[in-house]
A and B are shown apart, each in its own frame.
Chain A
Amino acid sequence: MADTTTEKIPFWLDPKKRAILFQIGVFCLVALLAYYLVSNTLTNLKRQHIATGWGFLHKESAFEIGESMIPYSSANTYARALLVGALNTVKVSFIGIVLSVFFGTLIGVARLSSNWLVSKLAGIFIEVMQDIPVLLQLFFWYAIFYETFPSPRQALHPMAGLYLCNRGVAMAFLSPHPAHKYMLLAFLAALVLSYAVYRWARQRQARKGLPFPVFWTSLALIIGLPLAVWLAFGAPMQMDVPKLVGFNFKGGISFSPEFIALLLGLVLYTSAFVAEVVRAGIQSVGKGQTEAAKAIGLKQGQILNLVILPQALRVIIPPLTSQMLNLTKNSSLAVAIGFPDFVSVANTTINQTGQSIEGVALIMAVYLIFSLSTSVFMNWYNKRAALVER
């Protein structure tokens, strides 16, 4: 009986078959649309005599790039120009993320301060920065630099070794010395040693219940080792002070107004969002947690380290990740103020070669790689911080 009724169901009433049919239909529609667009594009390209393909990457770029982390000149290829752009994007995003997490945390904590004035000021900062488009902020800071700051000859000189002018900021910096390489090595060694100490201390605490001052030991290692190397080399203190040569400053380290405007705009905008994330995270940990921790006799530092932070971080990390990704994506607005980031270099490439499809595809691919790698890393970290449930 049951068999005969199931056989009688026509295929358009069987949910499984209907689902398959529906999906085939949707795929056909998407494929048709794709075919239509691609065929149109191919005929248009043929009509306009644009050759497709990646051959242009190996041609000479013939344009200069203002700032670069690797040696580059206009005689290099487009591929190298794009690499310069990608590195600039990485540079500005990385510095921007570090700074905005730092300032965002500070402002988020200030928002929760019991000090009325500080809390209100932090609130105003968050509201104002969140409500003004980041592009407008970039234009604003760029205009401040380039319209209100004096020319290099009358550069502002607020403290020794620091010059502000409409060509950027020039700062005194330690002149290169062989000691620096060894100091960097010592710093890396200190990081590895600190991690080893941390592992050892945890195991010992798990076995014997004896605490070990890991934080202070690591701090001493990380500061002490490079310092010892520096002293061993006779404490080289030679500073490279910027000097006015011709129309601009030479020496020290300098930052272009485009870079500073971009960084300033991105950091101010993003840190307002980070502050809100941090505030929500800290507030999500109930007051009872702190009180319970006090009741079992934990010290202030231990309460923060062992009770509040592990719980708050779990709430903070996912939205913080999306803010980091937003900053990376917003760094593409550099094209509007002329900082040579990836989008800006790709845009120049498109204008020179006419390879618009390849150019936009490259922009999308590069940002997808940034986004995916950041989210893979943060997912890995989040998994470690997440609540382990039974």
Chain B
Amino acid sequence: MAGDATSIAAADTLKPPSTRKGVVGWVRANLFNGVFNSILTLVTLWMLYKLVPPLVRWAFIDSAWHTGGAACHKVSGACWSVVTQNFRFIIFGFFPYDMQWRPLVAMLILFALLFFSQNRKYWNRFLLYAWIAGLFAMGLLMKGGLFGLAPVDSTQWGGLPLTLLLSVFGLTAAYPLGVILALGRQSQMSGLRTLCILYIELIRGVPLISLLFMASIIFPLFLPEGVTINKILRAQVAIILFTAAYIAEVVRGGLQGMARGQYEAAESLGLNYYLTMRLIILPQALKIVIPPTVSILISAFKDTSLVAIIALFDLLKTSQSVLSNPEWMGFSPEVYVFIAVIYFLGCFSMSNYSRKLERELSTEEY
């Protein structure tokens, strides 16, 4: 016993070999554990050495930031001037120059609402009212015509506000529609179920661009003579119809995840279909599917870029029209990198949030 005690004490005081701890130990364990991994590390490091310095040189050292287009052509690195000189056009499109504070305020309202919505502490009735008021205020700021705001025709909307508008309003409208479709698909009524399955599978089987073509070319034919609906609204309807089918599938996953006992318990309480769904099933099912719903939001945000193909001036289209200006021709990589950074920031923060939420909502023990 005594011998054991002393050997344990000795082991406690004996330090691990210096190659097993600290920086050296970490490098050994994570980069050079084994022959294959060592070779892999060296090859990767060599590739990074070949790739990163030229990129840094191009982007930061040899680059131009505040010059005109002509001066830019003489620079060997990146010409960021194309972004800085056309910044307001890329972001706001054709919105009247002296009124561009309005879309800016609208976007700030949206960001504030999103900021508060991401904290689960604030998930209550007031947030819902705040969203309704916020969406109304955003619409008013964009459209004008009330409270002394000069009206702005929607053909002049563009850039980042249009991208955000299409994705936020698209998701807000698609969500209830998607829930209804999912309920229809799970319904006992076979006729209704077939109708919902047909809709969902049809929409999910075709690319979004075909729906956008439909909205821009065919939809005017659907309307009676003399009635026209503006292009943005038509594209918005296409995005809503498209996103709803995907939301329906996500919500269906949540509905299928509900135990039968929940339905039976609700029935035994004497609740009818509407009350069962509203009070028992949907609150639980929708909570399970929050993370995949955020993924749908991310793809909806990315998919709005497709409206550039039917010539709506979203973020991608405004940047392309800058590039068609002879002064700035040939600087596409710089502009596209800038747009990519905007999209990346949006999507990355959403997917990060989705991961965080998944951890918070998961009831599994690890």
Contact = CB atoms under 8 A, between A and B. Distances in A.
A133 B346 CA distance: 11
B309 interface: yes
A128 B221 contact: no
Contacts of B40: 113, 115, 118
B172 interface: no
B191 A140 contact: no
Given A115-B31, A131-B344, A143-B333, A335 B225 contact: no
B336 A143 contact: yes
B7 interface: no
A43 B332 CA distance: 45
A329 B30 contact: no
A266 B256 CA distance: 33
B344 A132 contact: yes
A51 B235 CA distance: 26
Given A114-B33, A144-B333, A368-B202, A40 B210 contact: no
Contact of B308 (A37, A135, A330): A135
B206 interface: yes
B344 A47 contact: no
Interface stretch (B10-18, B109-117, B124-132, B298-306): B298-306
Contacts of A364: 202, 206, 210
Interface string A356-372: 11011001100110011
Contacts of B192: 22-23, 26
Interface string A39-61: 01101110100000000000000
Contact of A148 (B189, B195, B309, B333): B333
Which DSSP category, helix, strand, loop or mixed, fits chain A's interface? helix
B333 A115 contact: no
Size class of the contact patch on chain A: 35 or more
Interface string B81-101: 000000000000000000000
A288 to B, nearest CB: 16
B74 to A, nearest CB: 16
B330 A147 contact: yes
A118 B348 contact: no
Contact of A45 (B217, B221, B303, B346): B221
A140 B332 contact: yes
Interface in A75-132: 113-118, 121, 127-128, 130-132
17 contacts: A19-B188, A22-B189, A41-B218, A43-B225, A44-B220, A47-B225, A117-B31, A130-B347, A131-B348, A132-B343, A132-B347, A139-B336, A335-B209, A335-B309, A336-B308, A350-B213, A356-B217
Interface of A: 19, 22-23, 26-27, 30, 37, 40-41, 43-45, 47, 113-118, 121, 127-128, 130-136, 139-140, 143-144, 147-148, 329-330, 332-333, 335-336, 343, 347, 350, 356-357, 359-360, 363-364, 367-368, 371-372
10 smallest A-B Cβ distances: which pairs?
A143-B332, A131-B347, A116-B30, A371-B205, A329-B207, A133-B302, A332-B207, A133-B305, A23-B191, A356-B217
